[in-house]
Structure 1
């Protein structure tokens, strides 16, 4: 039955569809086929989420080999949420990419563009689904290698995309090397790479080899998720990649890496590992510094995509801050922010892509008077921007509110009130850079250029994501509850994590 194969279907369907997409002769056919595959994957991911929410984590042994002898997919509630989120955003971005790619990608490369998109999508889903630590590395590299290509395809409009892709390649390879070295050290000690088995064998063990493996793994994942100060690849990659690629990567890639970090923190090492307290302290400090550093840099940038790219580094700091609390409320708040930030950044980058389609630029100077010449796109951008700041009735307000609540409930060396004040201060920095763009769009006179009409295929996904941003700012109780339940599953799965709650 299909239900028995739910954990693997959202991974293999886009992977097997990619070669077919490569054979399709034009942008519309390739894009439509990729969109259909994304919708099918989303349907299966949503079914998986409903099943996991009802019966608990699901394991699927590939080739009939049971855990821990074979490679096993294991999907818990947090994983099901992330898989549903990634497939939902793919379902929205892929139709947007059809018209966007016609404008930004060399025509002979559009079929390869959508094939790479599907491979990237499959890799991200695989990172979340697998219960084998080495396969996390495999799927990370599948998604990363396709992403390097996707970023480089932006060279039709700006040759700096090639430099951005090369920088991403070098730093991504360093991160992957660190990660796989860490896995090798753990394998040397335990003789297994199954995540559940690794956890069992690491309980009570604490030596220099394990600590080195811990450090290598989290350094590698830190590079993948663009954790400050290992974020060097992200601003250029987001700025010079094709618009649809930026919208998809900004909303999924770093979020999947955050989930991988959570799996290793709690599913494998847990709180009994003596190095854990030091790691959570690092997350706290780096999260806070990243929030302020990246937001400050964003204020002084003149490229809107670059501004939003640096804001992504700052928002990753909020997620790390929630994780650093090492409580159900803190991890739940991080998961809520993962969801809300993915939605708001998709909204923002699709709006920026629409401006680029209409005017051929994402410099701030091109945004003068867009409130008059492109009112719908301006409205969509402002909704995403208000959510980024954390204004009430937007999704960003909800995620920051639950993070503040988690901060008051945490026990940290830095007083909770000071952490809350820093969250508020960082949000005020977001007001500065979002306010600059809003001022330019609403209060400055339009340029002499007449914008091209943005196609409905690009407008509809933008409006949908703007509506989702508002919806989850008004009614987010279900989202908060399911994220908290996912955090409970991560921190207290019957594997001895209860002490941190």
Structure 2
């Protein structure tokens, strides 16, 4: 179960916020409900500051829950900005009283994953973070009739992944008679490697649905594109990070020395290569900015999984650090990119890239922030995206094996392929003259650019640059990655 230390009380605090906000929002007049985003952001800001003070004051000892603290900082920070960005962008006559509480419940589950020490607790927390998102994806059903089908697709595939992961957890429990992560490696030492590998693959595929690894990714484009921007930011950063940590934290239960971890690493690496390549190729043919970002998210997950895959194959802890760092960098950059893209689409009245000609130049602050996110996702220096990809490249090269070098080269080639859709987007949004004729595609009523969105996007852009310039300020990421590899890789 989750240990009762100060850090693990944060998920309970966040979940309590969901209940409190539901009561408060239900009782206030609709005219004041637009401030619900501020209340949610302040609630999460308190949790963020508490986690930050805890991680700064904690001595560098093995007992410090760096993994939970690091994930908690990402979840609460990004979640707070996403909640604030949603302020004023939601219909006050709609079900706002459900929106923010559901967001908090999802964030509570994602935060709790990093502190969990029990296989079944990890599974339950992942589901706690997923269930509210299923409903939130359909929140815009009044504005877009496709939102409900997108939510249903995510629900059906998500439940399938849930059952698959549960089967894997059950196999490990039946074999080891316990679900405690620290006890399972010893309890499974005499179990057949085939049984252990079967359970591990089931867990990988189950959580892989929620991570949208190819070919289990078909739910993601519609869900990311049709959900409210705050929800998408939470999905790409908070809940996806929670699932990723859940996957590899669950795999720490596997015993070492029987070849299972090596084989599993090969499987993870294979999925990583397929995912990054397919995601980039699919993004090349998209005309809708939301779908370009959605398919590129598939590719980004491939980059992330490659780091963890190399760590498993080569017994290389540095690769885990690279994977976790890029997870954090991706969450920040892609969360901000989706918020900015949605602001562009509302102001332009369309989600098609062609209909947004010159919009970045007309809104320079938002445009510059979006450029920073895209350059980071490409891997341009002075951004956390560049440093994340550099760490992944170094991990492949440092193996001193031809296979590791080849993996690093494949990642580099995929980064080059991504230029095929990122550069045209930047060119159209920042340097093209405004469109004269209306563009075919989804059209929205033009709206005034929200200051709350602008604030959230600018903050994330600043963090993107700061993490790229001063990564040594967050050395606890290395400690957090080490807690994902307790079976002898560190």
The alignment's TM-score, normalised by the length of structure 1, stands at 0.89
Alignment correspondent of 1:312:
297
User: Which has the higher mean CA deviation after the structures are superposed, 242-251 or 38-47?
Assistant: 38-47
Partners of 2:69 and 2:80 lie apart in 1 by 16
Deviates more, 1:309-318 or 1:13-22: 13-22
User: Is 1:269 matched up with 2:258?
Assistant: no
**What is the rounded CA distance, in whole Å, between the counterparts of 2:211 and 2:58 in structure 1?**
26
Tell me how far 1:212 sits from its aligned partner. 2.5
What residue in structure 1 maps to residue 214 of structure 2?
228
In 2, distance between residues paired with 1:285 and 1:333? 18
CA shift at 1:451, angstroms? 5.9
Deviation at 1:469, TM superposition (A): 0.8
Task: Name the CA distance, whole Å, in 1 between partners of 2:151 and 2:483.
Answer: 37
SS at match of 1:54: coil
Corresponding residue of 1:368: 357
Of 463, 486, 494, the residue aligned with 2:480 is: 486
Whole-angstrom CA distance in 1 between matches of 2:253 and 2:126: 18
Q: Distance in 1 between matches of 2:400 and 2:247?
A: 21
Which residue is equivalent to 1:68? none
Which secondary structure state, in structure 1, belongs to the residue aligned with residue 114 of structure 2? Answer: helix
Secondary structure at the counterpart of residue 158 of structure 1: coil
Per-residue deviation, 1:218: 1.4
Select the residue among 454, 458, 461 that pairs with 1:459. Answer: 454
Whole-angstrom CA distance in 1 between matches of 2:195 and 2:267 = 20
Partner of 1:33: 39
Do the aligned partners of 2:34 and 2:90 also contact (CA within 8 Å) in 1? Answer: no
Partner residue of 2:418 out of 426, 430, 451? 430
1:395 lines up with 2:384 in the alignment: yes
Show the counterpart of 1:91: 80
Shift of 1:298: 0.5
Cα pair distance change 1:458/1:14, threshold 3 Å: same
Q: Structure 1 residue aligned with 2:431, among 443, 446, 460?
A: 443
Alignment partners' CA distance in 2, 1:391 and 1:421: 17
- Counterpart of 1:336 in structure 2 is 325
Post-superposition CA distance 1:43-76 (Å, at most 9, x none): 2222343355534335xxxxxxxxxxxxxxxxx3
Deviations along 1:266-317, one digit per CA (max 9) or x if unpaired, are x211533432211101111211121111111101101111111111111111
CA distance in 2, matches of 1:285, 1:81: 28
Secondary structure at 1:153 match in 2: coil
Range that drifts further, 328-337 or 90-99: 90-99
Tell me which moved more, 31-40 or 200-209: 200-209
Report what 2:229 is aligned to: 243
For residue 228 of structure 1, report the CA deviation from its aligned partner: 1.9
Do 1:49 and 1:84's aligned partners in 2 also have CA atoms closer than 8 Å? no
| Structural mapping, 1:273-312, within 5 Å | 273-312=258-297
The alignment status of 1:161 with 2:147, answered yes or no, reads: yes
Q: Structure 2: how far apart are the matches of 1:372 and 1:20? A: 41
- Whole-angstrom distance in 2 between the partners of 1:197 and 1:122: 26
- Structure 1 Cα separation of the partners of residues 428 and 151 of structure 2: 30
d(CA) in 1 for partners of 2:333, 2:193? 43
Match of 1:175 in 2: 161
SS of 1:196's partner is coil
Whole-angstrom distance in 2 between the partners of 1:482 and 1:45: 12
CA–CA distance in 2 between the matches of 1:186 and 1:203?
Answer: 12
CA contact (8 A) 2:197 2:264 kept: no
Tell me if the contact between 2:106 and 2:239 (Cα under 8 Å) persists in the aligned partners.
Answer: no
Question: 1:35·1:94 contact (CA, 8 Å) conserved in 2?
Answer: yes
- Aligned counterpart, 1:198: 184
Q: Deviations over 1:208-243 (max 9, x none)?
A: 443332221111111121122211111111011011
- Equivalent residue, structure 2, for 1:15: 15
Aligned to 1:350: 339
Change (3 A) 1:80 1:270: farther
Could you say what the CA RMSD is over the residues aligned between the two structures, in angstroms? 2.1
- The structure 1 residue matched to 2:60, chosen from 28, 31, 54, is 54
**Residues 294 and 37 from structure 1, CA distance in 2 versus in 1: closer, same or farther, beyond 3 angstroms?**
same
Aligned partners of 1:95, 1:279: CA distance in 2, in Å? Answer: 40
Whether the 8 Å CA contact 1:9–1:44 is kept in 2: the answer is: no
Separation in structure 2 between the aligned mates of residue 200 and residue 34 of structure 1, nearest angstrom: 43
CA 1:168–1:411 in 2, change beyond 3 Å: closer, same or farther?
farther
Structure 1 residues 53 and 92 mapped into 2: Cα distance closer, same or farther (>3 Å)?
Answer: farther
Aligned to 1:126: 112
- CA displacement, residues 69-117 of structure 1 (integer Å, 9 cap, x when unaligned): xxxxxxx322321111111111211111112224xxx623011111111
**Uncovered stretches (5+) of structure 2, i.e. residues with no partner:** 439-444
TM-score (norm 2): 0.91
Residue-pair matches, total: 471
**Whole-angstrom distance in 2 between the partners of 1:179 and 1:411:** 35
Q: Could you tell me how far apart the structure 2 residues matched to 1:420 and 1:215 are?
A: 24
Match of 1:185 among 137, 146, 171: 171
Query: Is the CA contact 2:48–2:76 (under 8 Å) kept in the aligned structure 1?
Result: yes
Distance 2:155 2:400 in 1: 39
Separation in structure 1 between the aligned mates of residue 43 and residue 360 of structure 2, nearest angstrom: 36
CA-CA distance at 1:10 after TM superposition: 1.3
| 1:40 Cα offset (Å) | 1.6
How far did 1:4 drift? 7.2
